[in-house]
Structure 1
Amino acid sequence: MGRKLLLWLIWVVFTGYTVWLAPLDRPDTWPLVQRLLTFKFAEVNAILMAIFWLMGVWPMIYACLMFADGKIQDFRIWPYFIGSNGIGVICLIPYLILRKSNPKFTAYKDTLLKILDSRLTGLALLLITIVLVGYAINAGNWGDYVEQFQSTEFVHLISIDFCLMCLIFPLTSLFDDDMARRGIKDGRIFWAVAIVPLFGPLAYLCLRPNLPEFSTKTSKVGSAHPTSSSLWLDTQG
Protein backbone atom coordinates (compact mmCIF):
# COMPACT_ATOMS: atom_id res chain seq x y z
CA MET A 1 0.00 0.00 0.00
CA GLY A 2 2.86 2.38 0.78
CA ARG A 3 4.30 1.88 -2.69
CA LYS A 4 1.00 2.68 -4.37
CA LEU A 5 0.54 5.82 -2.30
CA LEU A 6 4.00 6.97 -3.35
CA LEU A 7 3.22 6.23 -7.00
CA TRP A 8 -0.04 8.17 -6.71
CA LEU A 9 1.83 11.12 -5.21
CA ILE A 10 4.41 11.06 -8.02
CA TRP A 11 1.63 10.85 -10.62
CA VAL A 12 -0.43 13.71 -9.16
CA VAL A 13 2.56 16.04 -8.73
CA PHE A 14 4.08 15.37 -12.15
CA THR A 15 0.75 15.50 -13.98
CA GLY A 16 -0.10 18.79 -12.30
CA TYR A 17 3.35 20.16 -13.08
CA THR A 18 3.01 19.14 -16.74
CA VAL A 19 -0.41 20.75 -17.07
CA TRP A 20 0.91 23.92 -15.43
CA LEU A 21 3.88 24.19 -17.81
CA ALA A 22 1.68 23.22 -20.81
CA PRO A 23 4.53 22.33 -23.20
CA LEU A 24 2.19 21.65 -26.13
CA ASP A 25 1.04 25.27 -26.05
CA ARG A 26 4.56 26.60 -26.56
CA PRO A 27 5.45 27.65 -30.12
CA ASP A 28 8.87 25.97 -29.99
CA THR A 29 7.63 22.50 -28.95
CA TRP A 30 6.37 20.98 -32.19
CA PRO A 31 9.29 22.14 -34.38
CA LEU A 32 11.66 20.58 -31.81
CA VAL A 33 9.68 17.32 -31.73
CA GLN A 34 9.73 17.21 -35.54
CA ARG A 35 13.51 17.59 -35.58
CA LEU A 36 13.82 14.79 -33.02
CA LEU A 37 11.53 12.46 -34.94
CA THR A 38 13.31 13.07 -38.26
CA PHE A 39 16.82 12.63 -36.82
CA LYS A 40 18.03 16.17 -37.53
CA PHE A 41 21.27 15.47 -35.67
CA ALA A 42 22.92 18.70 -36.74
CA GLU A 43 20.05 20.77 -35.33
CA VAL A 44 19.50 19.04 -31.98
CA ASN A 45 21.81 18.59 -29.00
CA ALA A 46 22.94 14.96 -28.88
CA ILE A 47 21.98 14.69 -25.20
CA LEU A 48 18.39 15.67 -25.92
CA MET A 49 18.28 13.35 -28.95
CA ALA A 50 19.46 10.46 -26.78
CA ILE A 51 16.97 11.20 -23.97
CA PHE A 52 14.11 11.48 -26.47
CA TRP A 53 14.80 8.07 -28.01
CA LEU A 54 15.58 6.47 -24.66
CA MET A 55 12.03 7.45 -23.75
CA GLY A 56 11.10 4.89 -26.39
CA VAL A 57 13.38 2.28 -24.83
CA TRP A 58 11.87 2.67 -21.36
CA PRO A 59 8.30 1.67 -22.37
CA MET A 60 9.77 -1.43 -24.02
CA ILE A 61 11.61 -2.31 -20.80
CA TYR A 62 8.34 -2.05 -18.91
CA ALA A 63 6.54 -3.96 -21.68
CA CYS A 64 8.84 -6.92 -21.13
CA LEU A 65 7.32 -7.20 -17.65
CA MET A 66 3.86 -5.72 -18.22
CA PHE A 67 2.55 -7.98 -20.98
CA ALA A 68 3.20 -11.13 -18.97
CA ASP A 69 1.64 -9.41 -15.97
CA GLY A 70 -1.30 -8.25 -18.09
CA LYS A 71 -2.25 -11.86 -18.81
CA ILE A 72 -3.41 -12.19 -15.22
CA GLN A 73 -5.02 -8.76 -14.75
CA ASP A 74 -8.70 -7.88 -15.17
CA PHE A 75 -8.16 -5.09 -17.71
CA ARG A 76 -6.29 -4.52 -20.96
CA ILE A 77 -2.69 -3.42 -20.92
CA TRP A 78 -2.45 -1.98 -24.45
CA PRO A 79 -3.79 1.53 -23.71
CA TYR A 80 -1.24 2.03 -20.94
CA PHE A 81 1.66 0.78 -23.04
CA ILE A 82 0.72 2.89 -26.08
CA GLY A 83 0.12 5.92 -23.89
CA SER A 84 3.46 5.51 -22.13
CA ASN A 85 5.20 5.88 -25.51
CA GLY A 86 3.57 9.26 -25.95
CA ILE A 87 3.29 10.78 -22.49
CA GLY A 88 5.59 8.59 -20.40
CA VAL A 89 4.90 8.00 -16.73
CA ILE A 90 1.63 9.95 -16.81
CA CYS A 91 0.08 6.98 -18.61
CA LEU A 92 2.32 4.25 -17.18
CA ILE A 93 1.82 4.89 -13.46
CA PRO A 94 -1.97 4.33 -13.47
CA TYR A 95 -1.38 0.76 -14.67
CA LEU A 96 1.21 0.17 -11.96
CA ILE A 97 -1.27 1.40 -9.36
CA LEU A 98 -4.37 -0.40 -10.64
CA ARG A 99 -2.75 -3.80 -11.26
CA LYS A 100 -3.14 -6.57 -8.70
CA SER A 101 0.04 -8.16 -7.43
CA ASN A 102 0.41 -11.81 -8.46
CA PRO A 103 3.73 -13.68 -8.21
CA LYS A 104 2.64 -16.65 -10.35
CA PHE A 105 2.29 -17.13 -14.09
CA THR A 106 0.35 -19.95 -15.74
CA ALA A 107 -1.01 -18.15 -18.81
CA TYR A 108 -0.49 -19.09 -22.45
CA LYS A 109 2.60 -17.52 -24.05
CA ASP A 110 1.58 -16.16 -27.44
CA THR A 111 4.07 -14.93 -30.04
CA LEU A 112 4.24 -11.38 -28.67
CA LEU A 113 4.84 -12.60 -25.14
CA LYS A 114 7.55 -15.00 -26.31
CA ILE A 115 9.34 -12.11 -28.00
CA LEU A 116 9.08 -9.89 -24.92
CA ASP A 117 10.19 -12.79 -22.72
CA SER A 118 13.26 -13.53 -24.83
CA ARG A 119 16.70 -12.49 -23.67
CA LEU A 120 17.44 -11.45 -27.25
CA THR A 121 14.90 -8.64 -26.83
CA GLY A 122 16.70 -7.48 -23.70
CA LEU A 123 20.03 -7.64 -25.53
CA ALA A 124 18.67 -5.58 -28.44
CA LEU A 125 17.38 -2.92 -26.05
CA LEU A 126 20.73 -2.89 -24.26
CA LEU A 127 22.67 -2.39 -27.50
CA ILE A 128 20.35 0.45 -28.58
CA THR A 129 20.82 2.09 -25.18
CA ILE A 130 24.62 1.79 -25.34
CA VAL A 131 24.62 3.46 -28.76
CA LEU A 132 22.38 6.30 -27.58
CA VAL A 133 24.29 6.91 -24.35
CA GLY A 134 27.61 6.75 -26.21
CA TYR A 135 26.31 9.26 -28.74
CA ALA A 136 25.22 11.64 -25.98
CA ILE A 137 28.56 11.39 -24.18
CA ASN A 138 30.69 11.89 -27.28
CA ALA A 139 28.66 14.48 -29.16
CA GLY A 140 26.55 16.18 -26.48
CA ASN A 141 26.91 19.74 -25.22
CA TRP A 142 26.11 19.77 -21.52
CA GLY A 143 26.11 23.55 -21.19
CA ASP A 144 23.55 23.89 -23.96
CA TYR A 145 21.46 21.07 -22.52
CA VAL A 146 21.34 22.68 -19.06
CA GLU A 147 20.30 25.96 -20.67
CA GLN A 148 17.51 24.22 -22.60
CA PHE A 149 16.43 22.36 -19.46
CA GLN A 150 15.98 25.68 -17.70
CA SER A 151 14.29 27.54 -20.56
CA THR A 152 12.40 25.02 -22.72
CA GLU A 153 9.36 23.34 -21.18
CA PHE A 154 9.47 20.26 -23.41
CA VAL A 155 13.14 19.57 -22.64
CA HIS A 156 12.50 20.20 -18.95
CA LEU A 157 9.58 17.76 -18.75
CA ILE A 158 11.02 14.98 -20.89
CA SER A 159 14.17 15.03 -18.76
CA ILE A 160 12.15 14.71 -15.55
CA ASP A 161 10.00 12.02 -17.18
CA PHE A 162 13.14 10.04 -18.00
CA CYS A 163 14.32 10.27 -14.40
CA LEU A 164 10.91 9.16 -13.11
CA MET A 165 10.99 6.13 -15.42
CA CYS A 166 14.20 5.13 -13.66
CA LEU A 167 12.85 5.91 -10.20
CA ILE A 168 9.56 4.00 -10.33
CA PHE A 169 10.96 0.75 -11.73
CA PRO A 170 11.92 -0.65 -8.30
CA LEU A 171 9.02 1.13 -6.55
CA THR A 172 6.30 -0.94 -8.16
CA SER A 173 5.55 -4.55 -7.22
CA LEU A 174 5.61 -5.33 -10.96
CA PHE A 175 9.35 -5.98 -10.70
CA ASP A 176 9.00 -8.08 -7.55
CA ASP A 177 6.29 -10.20 -9.15
CA ASP A 178 8.32 -10.76 -12.30
CA MET A 179 11.23 -12.04 -10.22
CA ALA A 180 8.90 -14.33 -8.26
CA ARG A 181 7.37 -15.80 -11.41
CA ARG A 182 10.84 -16.81 -12.54
CA GLY A 183 11.89 -18.27 -9.19
CA ILE A 184 14.41 -15.51 -8.45
CA LYS A 185 14.53 -15.15 -4.66
CA ASP A 186 17.92 -13.54 -4.10
CA GLY A 187 17.34 -10.03 -2.73
CA ARG A 188 20.78 -8.97 -3.93
CA ILE A 189 19.55 -9.27 -7.52
CA PHE A 190 16.69 -6.89 -6.75
CA TRP A 191 19.02 -4.27 -5.28
CA ALA A 192 21.61 -4.69 -8.03
CA VAL A 193 18.91 -3.90 -10.58
CA ALA A 194 17.22 -1.20 -8.50
CA ILE A 195 20.27 0.94 -7.74
CA VAL A 196 21.63 1.05 -11.31
CA PRO A 197 19.31 3.29 -13.37
CA LEU A 198 18.41 2.07 -16.85
CA PHE A 199 21.27 -0.42 -17.21
CA GLY A 200 20.16 -2.43 -14.17
CA PRO A 201 16.74 -3.24 -15.65
CA LEU A 202 18.34 -3.91 -19.04
CA ALA A 203 20.82 -6.36 -17.52
CA TYR A 204 17.90 -8.05 -15.77
CA LEU A 205 16.09 -8.53 -19.09
CA CYS A 206 19.23 -10.03 -20.60
CA LEU A 207 19.82 -12.53 -17.77
CA ARG A 208 16.44 -13.46 -16.30
CA PRO A 209 15.11 -17.03 -16.80
CA ASN A 210 12.24 -17.53 -19.20
CA LEU A 211 8.68 -17.85 -17.95
CA PRO A 212 7.26 -21.39 -17.87
CA GLU A 213 5.59 -22.71 -21.02
CA PHE A 214 1.98 -23.86 -21.11
CA SER A 215 0.61 -25.65 -24.12
CA THR A 216 -2.98 -24.40 -24.06
CA LYS A 217 -4.68 -21.02 -23.90
CA THR A 218 -6.89 -22.16 -21.02
CA SER A 219 -4.15 -22.29 -18.37
CA LYS A 220 -5.24 -20.79 -15.08
CA VAL A 221 -3.29 -18.61 -12.73
CA GLY A 222 -1.91 -20.42 -9.72
CA SER A 223 -1.67 -23.94 -11.19
CA ALA A 224 2.06 -24.17 -11.65
CA HIS A 225 5.30 -23.21 -9.99
CA PRO A 226 7.65 -20.59 -11.46
CA THR A 227 10.97 -21.43 -13.02
CA SER A 228 13.82 -22.25 -10.63
CA SER A 229 16.32 -19.54 -9.81
CA SER A 230 19.06 -21.95 -10.82
CA LEU A 231 18.25 -20.96 -14.40
CA TRP A 232 19.37 -17.37 -13.78
CA LEU A 233 22.54 -17.80 -15.83
CA ASP A 234 21.17 -20.42 -18.24
CA THR A 235 22.22 -19.48 -21.76
CA GLN A 236 18.94 -20.28 -23.44
CA GLY A 237 17.00 -17.16 -24.31
Structure 2
Amino acid sequence: MARKIGFGLIWLGFSFYAFVLAPPDQGNSLELIQQLATMNWEGINPFVIALFNLMGIWPMIYGSVLLADGCEQKISAWPFASLSFAFGAFALLPYLALRQSPQPELAGESSRNLKFWDSRGLGLGLLVGGVVLIAFGLSQGDWANFVQLWQTSRFIHVMSLDFCMLSLVFPAILIADANRRGLSIQSPLFWGAVLVPFLGPLVYLCLRPSLYANALQTTEG
Protein backbone atom coordinates (compact mmCIF):
# COMPACT_ATOMS: atom_id res chain seq x y z
CA MET A 1 0.00 0.00 0.00
CA ALA A 2 2.84 2.42 0.85
CA ARG A 3 4.34 1.81 -2.61
CA LYS A 4 1.02 2.58 -4.30
CA ILE A 5 0.54 5.76 -2.29
CA GLY A 6 4.13 6.80 -2.97
CA PHE A 7 3.81 6.47 -6.74
CA GLY A 8 0.44 8.18 -6.64
CA LEU A 9 1.86 11.15 -4.75
CA ILE A 10 4.83 11.37 -7.12
CA TRP A 11 2.45 11.45 -10.09
CA LEU A 12 0.26 14.13 -8.53
CA GLY A 13 3.23 16.25 -7.49
CA PHE A 14 4.94 15.94 -10.87
CA SER A 15 1.71 16.78 -12.71
CA PHE A 16 1.08 19.81 -10.47
CA TYR A 17 4.60 21.10 -11.08
CA ALA A 18 4.43 20.51 -14.86
CA PHE A 19 1.11 22.28 -15.40
CA VAL A 20 1.24 24.96 -12.68
CA LEU A 21 4.79 25.78 -11.62
CA ALA A 22 6.85 25.11 -14.77
CA PRO A 23 7.75 28.02 -17.06
CA PRO A 24 4.78 29.19 -19.13
CA ASP A 25 4.14 27.85 -22.60
CA GLN A 26 5.56 30.15 -25.27
CA GLY A 27 2.85 29.27 -27.78
CA ASN A 28 5.09 27.39 -30.22
CA SER A 29 5.23 24.04 -28.43
CA LEU A 30 2.89 22.24 -30.85
CA GLU A 31 4.86 23.50 -33.81
CA LEU A 32 8.14 22.38 -32.21
CA ILE A 33 6.72 18.94 -31.40
CA GLN A 34 5.50 18.57 -34.97
CA GLN A 35 8.92 19.54 -36.33
CA LEU A 36 10.67 17.07 -34.03
CA ALA A 37 8.24 14.24 -34.81
CA THR A 38 8.49 14.75 -38.58
CA MET A 39 12.30 15.13 -38.49
CA ASN A 40 12.09 18.70 -39.74
CA TRP A 41 15.04 19.58 -37.55
CA GLU A 42 16.47 22.63 -39.29
CA GLY A 43 17.20 25.39 -36.78
CA ILE A 44 16.52 23.22 -33.70
CA ASN A 45 19.22 22.81 -31.07
CA PRO A 46 20.69 19.27 -31.40
CA PHE A 47 20.39 18.94 -27.59
CA VAL A 48 16.62 19.21 -27.98
CA ILE A 49 16.59 16.77 -30.92
CA ALA A 50 18.63 14.22 -28.96
CA LEU A 51 16.51 14.57 -25.82
CA PHE A 52 13.26 14.23 -27.75
CA ASN A 53 14.44 11.00 -29.37
CA LEU A 54 15.89 9.64 -26.13
CA MET A 55 12.42 10.06 -24.66
CA GLY A 56 11.27 7.58 -27.31
CA ILE A 57 13.75 4.99 -26.04
CA TRP A 58 12.58 5.12 -22.41
CA PRO A 59 9.16 3.54 -23.14
CA MET A 60 10.97 0.64 -24.85
CA ILE A 61 13.14 0.17 -21.75
CA TYR A 62 10.12 0.15 -19.45
CA GLY A 63 8.19 -2.13 -21.81
CA SER A 64 11.07 -4.63 -21.75
CA VAL A 65 10.62 -4.95 -17.98
CA LEU A 66 6.94 -4.28 -17.26
CA LEU A 67 5.37 -6.37 -20.01
CA ALA A 68 6.65 -9.52 -18.29
CA ASP A 69 4.15 -8.83 -15.49
CA GLY A 70 1.68 -10.77 -17.63
CA CYS A 71 -1.64 -12.10 -16.42
CA GLU A 72 -0.82 -11.68 -12.72
CA GLN A 73 -1.81 -8.03 -13.02
CA LYS A 74 -5.44 -6.94 -12.96
CA ILE A 75 -4.48 -4.02 -15.21
CA SER A 76 -2.33 -4.64 -18.27
CA ALA A 77 0.91 -2.70 -18.66
CA TRP A 78 0.81 -2.30 -22.42
CA PRO A 79 -1.70 0.62 -22.64
CA PHE A 80 0.40 2.63 -20.18
CA ALA A 81 3.65 1.70 -21.93
CA SER A 82 2.12 2.72 -25.26
CA LEU A 83 0.89 6.06 -23.93
CA SER A 84 4.31 6.76 -22.46
CA PHE A 85 5.66 7.34 -25.97
CA ALA A 86 3.64 10.56 -25.91
CA PHE A 87 3.35 11.30 -22.19
CA GLY A 88 6.43 9.71 -20.60
CA ALA A 89 6.30 9.34 -16.83
CA PHE A 90 2.83 10.91 -16.74
CA ALA A 91 1.52 7.67 -18.32
CA LEU A 92 3.76 5.18 -16.50
CA LEU A 93 3.43 6.44 -12.91
CA PRO A 94 -0.30 5.61 -12.67
CA TYR A 95 0.44 2.01 -13.72
CA LEU A 96 3.21 1.74 -11.14
CA ALA A 97 0.74 2.98 -8.52
CA LEU A 98 -1.92 0.44 -9.59
CA ARG A 99 0.47 -2.46 -10.20
CA GLN A 100 0.19 -5.51 -7.97
CA SER A 101 3.32 -6.88 -6.31
CA PRO A 102 4.89 -9.03 -9.07
CA GLN A 103 5.57 -12.72 -8.57
CA PRO A 104 9.14 -14.03 -8.98
CA GLU A 105 8.08 -16.46 -11.73
CA LEU A 106 7.06 -15.68 -15.28
CA ALA A 107 3.29 -15.14 -15.35
CA GLY A 108 1.41 -16.65 -18.27
CA GLU A 109 2.59 -18.49 -21.35
CA SER A 110 5.36 -17.34 -23.61
CA SER A 111 4.48 -15.38 -26.72
CA ARG A 112 6.25 -13.89 -29.69
CA ASN A 113 5.44 -10.45 -28.37
CA LEU A 114 7.02 -11.09 -24.98
CA LYS A 115 10.00 -12.82 -26.55
CA PHE A 116 10.59 -9.69 -28.61
CA TRP A 117 10.64 -7.52 -25.49
CA ASP A 118 12.90 -10.06 -23.76
CA SER A 119 15.42 -10.29 -26.59
CA ARG A 120 18.97 -9.10 -26.23
CA GLY A 121 18.85 -7.91 -29.81
CA LEU A 122 16.30 -5.30 -28.82
CA GLY A 123 18.46 -4.20 -25.90
CA LEU A 124 21.52 -3.92 -28.14
CA GLY A 125 19.62 -1.89 -30.72
CA LEU A 126 18.35 0.49 -28.06
CA LEU A 127 21.83 0.83 -26.56
CA VAL A 128 23.38 1.71 -29.92
CA GLY A 129 20.61 4.19 -30.63
CA GLY A 130 20.97 5.77 -27.19
CA VAL A 131 24.75 6.15 -27.47
CA VAL A 132 24.46 7.68 -30.95
CA LEU A 133 21.87 10.21 -29.75
CA ILE A 134 23.89 11.16 -26.66
CA ALA A 135 27.03 11.60 -28.76
CA PHE A 136 25.10 13.70 -31.27
CA GLY A 137 23.63 15.95 -28.59
CA LEU A 138 26.91 16.43 -26.73
CA SER A 139 29.02 17.05 -29.82
CA GLN A 140 26.61 19.23 -31.80
CA GLY A 141 24.35 20.81 -29.20
CA ASP A 142 24.47 24.37 -27.89
CA TRP A 143 24.45 24.02 -24.10
CA ALA A 144 23.94 27.72 -23.34
CA ASN A 145 20.94 27.84 -25.67
CA PHE A 146 19.51 24.68 -24.11
CA VAL A 147 19.75 26.17 -20.61
CA GLN A 148 17.93 29.26 -21.84
CA LEU A 149 15.22 27.11 -23.43
CA TRP A 150 14.92 25.06 -20.22
CA GLN A 151 14.26 28.25 -18.30
CA THR A 152 11.72 29.71 -20.73
CA SER A 153 9.96 26.82 -22.55
CA ARG A 154 7.47 24.65 -20.65
CA PHE A 155 7.73 21.84 -23.21
CA ILE A 156 11.52 21.56 -23.01
CA HIS A 157 11.54 22.14 -19.24
CA VAL A 158 9.00 19.39 -18.56
CA MET A 159 10.52 17.01 -21.13
CA SER A 160 13.90 17.34 -19.37
CA LEU A 161 12.35 16.66 -15.97
CA ASP A 162 10.38 13.77 -17.46
CA PHE A 163 13.66 12.18 -18.58
CA CYS A 164 15.04 12.58 -15.05
CA MET A 165 11.85 11.17 -13.51
CA LEU A 166 12.00 8.05 -15.70
CA SER A 167 15.63 7.59 -14.66
CA LEU A 168 14.83 7.93 -10.96
CA VAL A 169 11.79 5.61 -10.97
CA PHE A 170 13.28 2.79 -13.06
CA PRO A 171 15.19 1.09 -10.19
CA ALA A 172 11.85 0.51 -8.43
CA ILE A 173 10.80 -2.04 -11.05
CA LEU A 174 14.14 -3.83 -11.37
CA ILE A 175 13.98 -6.21 -8.41
CA ALA A 176 11.00 -8.18 -9.77
CA ASP A 177 12.64 -8.47 -13.19
CA ALA A 178 15.93 -9.63 -11.68
CA ASN A 179 14.13 -12.21 -9.52
CA ARG A 180 12.30 -13.63 -12.54
CA ARG A 181 15.62 -14.19 -14.25
CA GLY A 182 17.45 -15.68 -11.29
CA LEU A 183 19.74 -12.65 -11.19
CA SER A 184 21.12 -11.67 -7.79
CA ILE A 185 20.36 -8.13 -6.73
CA GLN A 186 23.95 -8.04 -5.45
CA SER A 187 25.31 -8.43 -8.97
CA PRO A 188 27.25 -5.59 -10.68
CA LEU A 189 24.77 -5.74 -13.58
CA PHE A 190 21.84 -4.99 -11.28
CA TRP A 191 23.58 -2.14 -9.48
CA GLY A 192 24.89 -0.72 -12.73
CA ALA A 193 21.28 -0.45 -13.90
CA VAL A 194 20.31 1.19 -10.61
CA LEU A 195 23.16 3.69 -10.34
CA VAL A 196 23.93 4.68 -13.95
CA PRO A 197 21.07 6.72 -15.45
CA PHE A 198 19.74 5.65 -18.87
CA LEU A 199 22.83 3.77 -20.09
CA GLY A 200 22.79 1.43 -17.07
CA PRO A 201 19.27 0.14 -17.86
CA LEU A 202 20.23 -0.28 -21.54
CA VAL A 203 23.30 -2.36 -20.65
CA TYR A 204 21.08 -4.37 -18.30
CA LEU A 205 18.70 -5.19 -21.16
CA CYS A 206 21.65 -6.41 -23.23
CA LEU A 207 23.20 -8.65 -20.55
CA ARG A 208 20.35 -9.86 -18.33
CA PRO A 209 19.64 -13.62 -18.37
CA SER A 210 16.86 -14.81 -20.64
CA LEU A 211 13.43 -14.83 -19.05
CA TYR A 212 12.51 -18.13 -20.69
CA ALA A 213 15.77 -19.90 -19.87
CA ASN A 214 15.23 -19.18 -16.19
CA ALA A 215 11.57 -20.25 -16.41
CA LEU A 216 12.64 -23.55 -17.96
CA GLN A 217 15.26 -24.14 -15.28
CA THR A 218 12.65 -23.42 -12.57
CA THR A 219 10.23 -25.93 -14.13
CA GLU A 220 12.88 -28.63 -14.45
CA GLY A 221 14.04 -28.01 -10.91
User: Do these two structures clear the TM 0.5 threshold for a shared fold by scoring above it?
Assistant: yes
CA distance in 2: counterparts of 1:23 and 1:113, whole angstroms: 40
The size of the alignment, in residue pairs, is 219
1:185 aligns with 2:184: yes
Matched to 1:208, the amino acid is R
The Cα of 1:57 is off from its aligned counterpart by: 0.1
Name stretches of at least 5 consecutive residues in structure 2 with no aligned partner: none
Give deviations 1:160-217, integer Å, cap 9, x for gaps.
00000100001x2x21111000001142433221110001100110001111269xxx
Cα RMSD of the aligned pairs, angstroms, is: 2.6
Alignment of 1:19-30 (within 5 A): 19-20=19-20, 26-30=26-30
Matched to 2:93, the amino acid is I
Are residues 36 and 46 of structure 1, via their aligned partners in 2, closer, same or farther at CA, if it must alter by over 3 Å?
Answer: same
Are residues 127 and 6 of structure 1, via their aligned partners in 2, closer, same or farther at CA, if it must alter by over 3 Å?
Answer: same
CA distance in 2: counterparts of 1:212 and 1:32, whole angstroms: 42
Are residues 106 and 155 of structure 1, via their aligned partners in 2, closer, same or farther at CA, if it must alter by over 3 Å?
Answer: closer
SS at 1:96's partner residue? Answer: helix
User: Is residue 211–residue 227 contact of structure 1 (8 Å, CA) maintained in 2?
Assistant: no
Q: Which residue of 2 aligns with 1:94?
A: 94
Are residues 207 and 224 of structure 1, via their aligned partners in 2, closer, same or farther at CA, if it must alter by over 3 Å?
Answer: closer
Q: Percent identity?
A: 39
User: Is residue 103–residue 177 contact of structure 1 (8 Å, CA) maintained in 2?
Assistant: yes
User: Is residue 68–residue 107 contact of structure 2 (8 Å, CA) maintained in 1?
Assistant: no
Matched to 2:97, the amino acid is I
Are residues 166 and 23 of structure 1, via their aligned partners in 2, closer, same or farther at CA, if it must alter by over 3 Å?
Answer: same
Are residues 226 and 103 of structure 1, via their aligned partners in 2, closer, same or farther at CA, if it must alter by over 3 Å?
Answer: farther
User: Is residue 63–residue 81 contact of structure 1 (8 Å, CA) maintained in 2?
Assistant: yes
User: Is residue 23–residue 152 contact of structure 2 (8 Å, CA) maintained in 1?
Assistant: no
Are residues 62 and 4 of structure 1, via their aligned partners in 2, closer, same or farther at CA, if it must alter by over 3 Å?
Answer: same
Q: Which residue of 2 aligns with 1:137?
A: 138
User: Is residue 48–residue 155 contact of structure 1 (8 Å, CA) maintained in 2?
Assistant: yes
Q: Which residue of 2 aligns with 1:234?
A: none
CA distance in 2: counterparts of 1:135 and 1:55, whole angstroms: 15
CA distance in 1: counterparts of 2:108 and 2:163, whole angstroms: 32
Q: Which residue of 2 aligns with 1:35?
A: 35
SS at 2:68's partner residue? Answer: helix
Are residues 91 and 227 of structure 1, via their aligned partners in 2, closer, same or farther at CA, if it must alter by over 3 Å?
Answer: farther
CA distance in 1: counterparts of 2:220 and 2:206, whole angstroms: 16
The Cα of 1:20 is off from its aligned counterpart by: 1.8
Are residues 19 and 85 of structure 1, via their aligned partners in 2, closer, same or farther at CA, if it must alter by over 3 Å?
Answer: same
Alignment of 1:69-148 (within 5 A): 69-101=69-101, 102-148=103-149
SS at 1:169's partner residue? Answer: helix
For normalisation by structure 1, the TM-score amounts to: 0.84
Matched to 1:157, the amino acid is V
Q: Which residue of 2 aligns with 1:231?
A: none
Of the structure 1 ranges 194-203 and 68-77, higher mean CA displacement relative to structure 2 is found in 68-77
Q: Which residue of 2 aligns with 1:217?
A: none
For normalisation by structure 2, the TM-score amounts to: 0.90
Name stretches of at least 5 consecutive residues in structure 1 with no aligned partner: 215-221, 229-237
The Cα of 1:141 is off from its aligned counterpart by: 0.3
CA distance in 2: counterparts of 1:113 and 1:209, whole angstroms: 14
CA distance in 1: counterparts of 2:158 and 2:33, whole angstroms: 13
